[in-house]
Structure 1
Amino acid sequence: MAEQYIVVVAGVIASLLGFVFLYYNSLDGRQVLVIERNLNAPNRIAGENLLPGGYLKLIELGLQDEIDAQRILGYILYKDGKNVLVSFPLEKFQPHVAGRNFHNGHFFQKLQKKAASLHNVNLEQGTVISLLEENGIVKGVHYKNKSGQMLTAYAPLTIVCNGCFSNLRRSLCYPKVDIPSYTVGVILTNCKLPNENYGALILADPSPVLFYPISSTEIRCLVNIPSEIVPSVSNGEMAHFLKTLVAPKVLPELYNSFIFAIEKKDNIRTMPNKIMAAAPHPTPGAILIGDAFNMRHGITGGGMTVALSDVVILRDLLRPLHDLSDASAICKYLESFYTLRKPMSSTINILANVLQKVFSASSNPAMENLQQTFLEYLRLGGVFSYGISAIKLSISFLFHCIIWRWPIVTSISFSQTLVGWG
């Protein structure tokens, strides 16, 4: 009899990850039970971006045709009336390779439909309450179905990917969650960004503001607000904050649409930016992946890319396994997953968490100077703003300045120093 997996899916990025995972494992003849909290299309402000590396993973999984998306080649950074274009390093790839932005709910439903069409996939709406453990081994889950009935599902391996609000992670990792800020999102219509296929990031006080297309007629705006000053949406304080403090900083061609988006009913959504380092607690019979396991600040939109990379790694590890009955041996074998995922996940995590500090407004003059110098460095162009080496050098510079509190240097000596580090 074929092995059965349980995939616990809830949330946004986790949902996509779960469906991709179950799709590929079911093709290998394995029985898959998916317990998804809500099978309706999600309406969230997360999981709308794929970096080029994430799109390459989508191609590797054979699912690039499942995404109705807008191509994105990079971002333009704006500050104090100046701007700098930062492109993705795509010179070695085919023209179709680029970043992708999209309606998360649309992508979710396409993957859901594909998964449900497979004969050995059982897709069920329900809420997982707890893991079923016997003698330190996970045997399955307890869950409540759509009708409210309490049920138990058994399987030799449970894949837990129930998102940033996971109620199961404490059994499978050492969670330490930090929430430095919140993201406020609105959708703009009937407007265009200054440069086609480029997002816009405005570095302003009190909050960085990000714009990117999610369809041919819609632009997503995300405002990053420090946790200690997040206004209430329900009583109108958030709308007032956006109109009075943020709107004057947006690009003139987007201003009217931004105001209209704020005034549109139920168009303002908020989301905590959670940061949680990957700290696994290997447990026989289960493995934790996705935002339930590892989170980074959302300023780079890299969460989906990390998730898809994790899926490819885990898929390749599980494919040669035909017998999952020895939970302890399988657990030991799967520990390599945590090492194999580091090159992709660590790069994106570090970049996201450092950039959110550098790009956020600060009353500290040294941080303001750091931000200005970093932009001047990118404005030098060439290797300084284009390519993997630029990311590597930028991270090195930012870490040295933040950790060691080095004095800010001129852009020329700064760039020369970075070349030395590279």
Structure 2
Amino acid sequence: MSSQYDVLIVGAGIAGSALAHALSRSSAPQRRIALLERSLAEPDRIVGELLQPAGVAFLNKLGLQGALEGIDAIPVHGYAVVQDGRIVHIPYPDAREGRSFHHGQFVQGLREHAKRAKGVDVIEATVSELVEEGGRVVGVKATRSSGKEKEVFRADLTIIADGCFSNFRSTVQGPSSRPSQTKSHFCGAILKDVRLPMSQHGTVALVRGHGPVLLYQISEHDTRMLVDVKNPLPSDLKKHIITKIVPSLPPQLHEPIRAALSADRLRRMPNSFLPPAPQSHQRGVILLGDAWNMRHPLTGGGMTVALSDVYILSQHLDKVNDLKDWTQMKSILKKWWWERKGLAATINILSVALYDLFGADGECLTVLQDGCFKYFERGGESVRGPVSLLSGISPSTSLLAYHFFYVAFYSMWSLFAHPRPIPAPPTNGESNMNGTHVTGNGTAHATGNGTDEKYSDTRIMQTPSILDYPRLFWLSCRVLWTALVVFGPLLWTEIRWW
């Protein structure tokens, strides 16, 4: 059996479903589009649950804002970053708003829009291989869920959007397109009816000696917790989280976390990084979404990049008269490559660089992490600039470089100017956390237990003496070098193809 379409899209996730809907709205002559997905059941994932303000804007441009309706999506107004009992408020600028939700419900909403789109066939089928003729991909072989025989789906253009575990990435891009080595995993659980330090804000808790912890509400009663656990993974993940991570989190979260871990399985997701590469050498097929480009999920920028890519690509494909004309398609792909660069490169670099700081593995990265938190505490542009980058509102690699190295130099200056903590044991065996204290942009105190208290800090703060200056000067040089080592290679992954 064989079916003929203008466009085949493999994978009905965020990118695939959005693109099918976008192409159906084309001003060009109506195209037949097939959207193939192995299973149309609601997906169950622990990431892809927070859409940044720029992502919401692209969703609106694509006419898909309805996908956020009826799924109990929660408005998100910014972040609260917690470290050693202190909390800094990082609001989105200009009253911008993101959304958080159950990933599967959002995907189902996008699929419903694709099903209702004119000229789109949404087909539940498992794609097993690409079909080539004369050095050109002309379709795929797939088996429908209702059948046993393979069927050939032919098209002028095939788009692979089958996610981070893509089966066709290396076929299209070659073996060099594999993701970088996985350094850590996000371990996820859902907490029930908890009160975060700041309502309708994502919480990022920095745990010394370990990876960051993310918490954000995804429905009226559910709050997602993601714990970054570095490789090699401990044999008992739940025990690791309860003994090593939970004590550093706000007190009101302790019991809900223990309850969630005892009642449900702890799921995990590898955190991978895959920089984009130009597409045009394999005629008739292109990659889209996580199949082509991945970044660390810490900043929640993946869906924003995917929706941006869909919007830009659909605008260009709208102008193509003949999708089989690969000379014209190469020109379109080149334009897409350049137009997506500002947003995609900024979010890609920021995600990995921020993870290196927040995951602080070593003395120099710890200095940078402390400096980053103190930088946020300054408020003003020290908050507005970074969160504008993270939310996709200000897609600029030059602005990102400015703030990143400002943090580096501010961290070095803080070594000499700010008192340094000397750990001291808590007294009477009591917890050293009673609440939180909001700083950063002049907001009022806000605490985990509804009072105006702060975490009581048992560490002794000591101002450096002149005798410490030689050691601190050497440390500051190492800190600057570490900043260069973190940022430089990430920038190179984005500009090496220019």
Q: TM-score range by the shorter chain?
A: 0.7 to 0.9
Distance, in Å, in 1 between the alignment partners of 2:177 and 2:111 is 29
Distance, in Å, in 1 between the alignment partners of 2:331 and 2:163 is 24
* Gap change, CA 1:329 and 1:412, over 3 Å in 2: farther
Task: Provide the residue aligned with 1:365 in structure 2.
Answer: 363
Question: Residue 207 of structure 1: CA displacement?
Answer: 2.4
Q: Secondary structure at the match of 2:237?
A: helix
Extract unaligned runs of 5+ from structure 2: 390-397, 419-479, 481-498
Task: Provide the residue aligned with 1:213 in structure 2.
Answer: 217
**From 192, 196, 215, the counterpart of 2:195:** 192
Task: Provide the residue aligned with 1:202 in structure 2.
Answer: 205
* Gap change, CA 1:412 and 1:216, over 3 Å in 2: farther
Q: Secondary structure at the match of 1:133?
A: strand
Is residue 384–residue 390 contact of structure 1 (8 Å, CA) maintained in 2?
no
Distance, in Å, in 2 between the alignment partners of 1:412 and 1:318 is 56
Distance, in Å, in 1 between the alignment partners of 2:8 and 2:169 is 16
Is residue 45–residue 185 contact of structure 1 (8 Å, CA) maintained in 2?
yes
Distance, in Å, in 1 between the alignment partners of 2:89 and 2:400 is 15
* Gap change, CA 1:30 and 1:359, over 3 Å in 2: same
1:275 matched to 2:276: no
1:183 matched to 2:182: no
* Gap change, CA 1:284 and 1:367, over 3 Å in 2: same
Question: Residue 241 of structure 1: CA displacement?
Answer: 1.4
Distance, in Å, in 1 between the alignment partners of 2:399 and 2:312 is 27
* Gap change, CA 1:152 and 1:272, over 3 Å in 2: same
Distance, in Å, in 1 between the alignment partners of 2:10 and 2:166 is 10
Is residue 169–residue 292 contact of structure 1 (8 Å, CA) maintained in 2?
yes
Q: Secondary structure at the match of 1:172?
A: helix
Q: Secondary structure at the match of 1:294?
A: coil
2:257 alignment partner AA: F
Question: Residue 331 of structure 1: CA displacement?
Answer: 3.0
Comparing 142-151 and 210-219, the one that deviates more: 142-151
Question: Residue 393 of structure 1: CA displacement?
Answer: 5.4
Task: Provide the residue aligned with 2:379 in structure 1.
Answer: 381
Distance, in Å, in 1 between the alignment partners of 2:204 and 2:277 is 32
2:115 alignment partner AA: A
1:296 alignment partner AA: R
1:36 matched to 2:40: no
Is residue 354–residue 395 contact of structure 1 (8 Å, CA) maintained in 2?
no
TM-score of the two chains, using structure 2 as the length reference: 0.75
Q: Deviations over 1:207-226 (max 9, x none)?
A: 21110010111100001111
Task: Provide the residue aligned with 2:253 in structure 1.
Answer: 254
**From 83, 92, 98, the counterpart of 1:79:** 83
- Map 1:9-48 → 2, pairs under 5 A: 9=11, 15-28=13-26, 29-48=30-49
1:171 matched to 2:206: no
Distance, in Å, in 1 between the alignment partners of 2:293 and 2:16 is 15
Distance, in Å, in 2 between the alignment partners of 1:347 and 1:88 is 17
1:160 alignment partner AA: I
Is residue 187–residue 229 contact of structure 2 (8 Å, CA) maintained in 1?
yes
Is residue 371–residue 407 contact of structure 2 (8 Å, CA) maintained in 1?
no
Is residue 31–residue 120 contact of structure 1 (8 Å, CA) maintained in 2?
yes
1:130 matched to 2:157: no
Question: Residue 397 of structure 1: CA displacement?
Answer: 5.1
Q: Secondary structure at the match of 1:222?
A: strand
Task: Provide the residue aligned with 1:58 in structure 2.
Answer: 59
Task: Provide the residue aligned with 1:307 in structure 2.
Answer: 306
Q: Secondary structure at the match of 2:384?
A: coil
- Map 1:323-362 → 2, pairs under 5 A: 323-362=322-361
Distance, in Å, in 2 between the alignment partners of 1:75 and 1:400 is 21
TM-score of the two chains, using structure 1 as the length reference: 0.88
Is residue 37–residue 126 contact of structure 1 (8 Å, CA) maintained in 2?
yes
Is residue 284–residue 328 contact of structure 1 (8 Å, CA) maintained in 2?
no
* Gap change, CA 1:412 and 1:342, over 3 Å in 2: farther
Distance, in Å, in 2 between the alignment partners of 1:360 and 1:231 is 17
Question: Residue 388 of structure 1: CA displacement?
Answer: 5.7
* Gap change, CA 1:411 and 1:52, over 3 Å in 2: farther
Q: Secondary structure at the match of 1:40?
A: coil
2:78 alignment partner AA: G
Question: Residue 361 of structure 1: CA displacement?
Answer: 3.6
Q: Deviations over 1:199-253 (max 9, x none)?
A: 1111003221110010111100001111x22135xxxx11111222122122111
Aligned length: 396
* Gap change, CA 1:71 and 1:412, over 3 Å in 2: farther
Q: Secondary structure at the match of 2:294?
A: coil
* Gap change, CA 1:280 and 1:326, over 3 Å in 2: same
Q: Secondary structure at the match of 1:202?
A: strand
Q: Deviations over 1:375-418 (max 9, x none)?
A: 1111000111113697565644546888xx9982228999xx9x
2:15 alignment partner AA: L
Is residue 3–residue 324 contact of structure 1 (8 Å, CA) maintained in 2?
no
Task: Provide the residue aligned with 1:162 in structure 2.
Answer: 162
1:120 matched to 2:122: no
Task: Provide the residue aligned with 2:424 in structure 1.
Answer: none
Question: Stretches of 4+ moved more than 6 A in 1?
Answer: 411-414
Distance, in Å, in 1 between the alignment partners of 2:287 and 2:19 is 13
* Gap change, CA 1:321 and 1:368, over 3 Å in 2: same
* Gap change, CA 1:55 and 1:412, over 3 Å in 2: farther
Task: Provide the residue aligned with 2:238 in structure 1.
Answer: 239
Q: Secondary structure at the match of 1:17?
A: helix
Q: Deviations over 1:263-317 (max 9, x none)?
A: 1133x11000110110134122111110000000010010000000001001100
| Greater C-alpha radius of gyration | 2
Percent identity over the alignment? 34
Distance, in Å, in 2 between the alignment partners of 1:76 and 1:411 is 24
Task: Provide the residue aligned with 1:8 in structure 2.
Answer: 10
Q: Deviations over 1:111-158 (max 9, x none)?
A: 212222235221111222222122321111122321342221100001
